[in-house]
Amino acid sequence: MTLYTSMPLELVLAGMNDEREPLIELEQDGALMQLAPLAPGIGKLVRLVHAPLDHYLNPRFQPGAYIVYSSPTD
């Protein structure tokens, strides 16, 4: 892949190797999704792994949407 930009390479690649929190896989309303945890019981939708086709057109399941889930208790 070639990237043409007038920005310095250090700015373009800044944060590329930073550690990220592991994603949570959650099944809700028949959709298997990956969430980035934000707070206990709240996550930001990263992607749908497997879902019915109509879920892909539903704004509730678009990437970046906030999903409320119940965290499992030990």
Question: Which DSSP string do the residues of 6-71 spell out, in sequence order?
Answer: SS-HHHHTTTTT---PPPEEEEETTEEEEEEEEETTEEEEEEEEE--GGGGG-GGGSTT-EEE-PP
pLDDT for res 72: 57
The closest of 45, 49, 48, 37 to 64, measured between CA atoms, is: 45
pLDDT for res 74: 43
- Tens of pLDDT, residue by residue over 17-63, are 888 779 999 999 999 999 999 999 999 999 999 999 999 999 999 99
pLDDT range class, residue 66, cuts 50, 70, 90: very high
pLDDT for res 53: 94
Domain limits, the chain: 23-74
Its pTM stands at 0.68
